[in-house]
Structure 1
Amino acid sequence: MRALSEKILAGGRVTPAEAATLYFEAPLHELGRLAHAVRLRKHPEPVVTFVSDRNINYSNICVCGCRFCAYFRAPGQEGGFLLDREELGRKIEETLALGGTQILLQGGHHPDLPLSWYEDMLRFIKNYPIHAHAFSPPEIAHFAKLNGLSTAGVIARLKAAGLDSIPGGGAEILVDAVRSRVSPRKCGADEWLRIMEEAHDLGLRTTATMMFGHEEEPAQRLEHLFALRASQDRTGGYTAFIPWTFQPANTAIEARQLTSVEYLRLLAVARIVLDNFDNLQVSWVTMGPKIAQLALFFGGNDFGSTMIEENVVRAAGVSFRLSREEIRRLIKGAGFTPRQRRMDYSLLEEA
């Protein structure tokens, strides 16, 4: 551990074997110390950023049937919806009134909507001064298959219609042996990565995520991290990494809820492994505000989103809510200066 600690503090890149040593053997506080040192090397200023946005679900109708999802409805099932333009406009106007700068659009894999429907939605959104962060790789793969197009062609058309960036949703664990069990109808790990890299090649920035603690082995979480690191080496297009723990309530997966210590260990190892990612986001949505504060000393430098609206995690029984003012207070309480940012991590001017 001493030699490994010295290597990390000197800026060395860890190998998969070294990452496993850290993840499975390092004392928690030493792991946190190393991750915080990496964070300070990248961001020496005492600033923690956040974004003010809203998650808007344009539909919950989905043919995937992922076993971890408590939100979707199958086609024809009671409770399915498709958001109309009037309601979408109202949600955007509310977001702008609350100081929001972007919306995150999420939807199921609807079996009947043509690509033109999504293009029209983006054009409608662009009537407002707001950033459209939308359509994860599995959605793009679904659009391509449904419309007989390449995924790069779909991304190009969505960008022309107003798409500004792509969220990292649908990553779960980027190991096909896991994906085949928990989300067998979604794109595989290689396709997820390829779609992200196509977006980067077309000039779009994206985020990357991990949902862990369901049916993967702990070592497969490390595989996920190294797949992302290799992808970032190829394109440099990811702005941030966002890990969160699986919420088992109301889902078809029986799993215990991971502890805060397990979350902090993964976060810290991610900060060390992902040396080519500038930003690491903490998850107050699943872990609560106090653990999110602590996570700022385990590698995190971003407090995530205000999430003016969030429905998917809430459907799994978790309902932490924080206003922009509460996020500022929590960041200050942890000893940092809060700054509101945009998706690309440029800072907004302070009022």
Structure 2
Amino acid sequence: MGRSRQPARVAVVTGASAGVGRATVRLLARRGTAVALLARGSKGLAAAADEVRAEGGRALPIEVDMADHEAVVAAGRRVEAELGPIDLWINAAFSSVFAPFQATRPEEFRRAMEVTYLGYVHGTRVALAHMTPRDHGTIVQVGSALAYRGIPLQAAYCGAKHAIVGFTESLRCELRHDGSNVQVTMVQLPAVNTPQFDWLLSRLPHNAQPVPPIYEPVVAARAIVAAADRPSRREYWVGTSTVLTILGNRIAPGLLDRYLARTGYSSQQTSQPADPNRPANLWQPADGPQGRDFGTCGSFGGRSHRRSPQAWLSRHRRLVAAAGVSAAALGTVAWRVTRVA
């Protein structure tokens, strides 16, 4: 898996006002990391920064739209000036649309790509501008099983996540060519109980929901922090469903096409009719001055898991392998003793 790096002293987390990003900044704060929180929503940012301080960490909340490259550049400069050299940059911000592709307007699709894909490109570019001269730093791209397997009703999101994989692979090769010590890794997530299902623009007749099994944001946050500690590993897959989705698509993509055509619409909607007045954060943050703080978790806490045995095994696979070798050795010794006796 590669040796661990020292925990970051200064980290930047995009999409830090809610969901996975917000859970991640809390874990970083517990380690004593100074955290810059980047997001659009002022209320969510303020609440997330308070949580960081409650954990004993230093927080620097910055309102920024990740689709705006110059604003991200300014945010990076502010972080370095107020917190110090950036050791870790975690890209997690996104926005999207729940709708069939043909019901998604061109400007909406473009906006989703600008935030979710180009937001990662802008964040990575700014991180490298500060890390490359020092030849030190780690970038974590928070992805999804949907980076490898597209599903209906989420064409914009799936397209953006696929694009992030290709972009990151190209960048990784370039850094290796340059002999750089800056490292880039990815974390591919399962369905997570975040506020996205309460605030993404939706044209579905019923409320959107994650496809089970569903995990709490803290499960994703643990994996992200672990990836930051061991960035020499190219990717981390979180949750058995992520593993099965990625591997299943490699083996039988046509079978998954037919399965998702039959089940993908119903599995992503509850039985409750959608509220036509629900918030939508594509163009403006739902947790802005006129909105509310949506918090870390979404509306599916009663159906979500706080732990993933697969994710734990993935993070500790060297320990598990060593334990397996030890058990095998003990078994061999016991067998030989039995034979001698």
**TM-score, with structure 1 as normaliser:** 0.39
Which structure carries more helix by proportion? 2
Q: Which has the higher contact order (CA 8 A, sep 6+)?
A: 1
Q: TM-score, normalised by structure 2?
A: 0.40
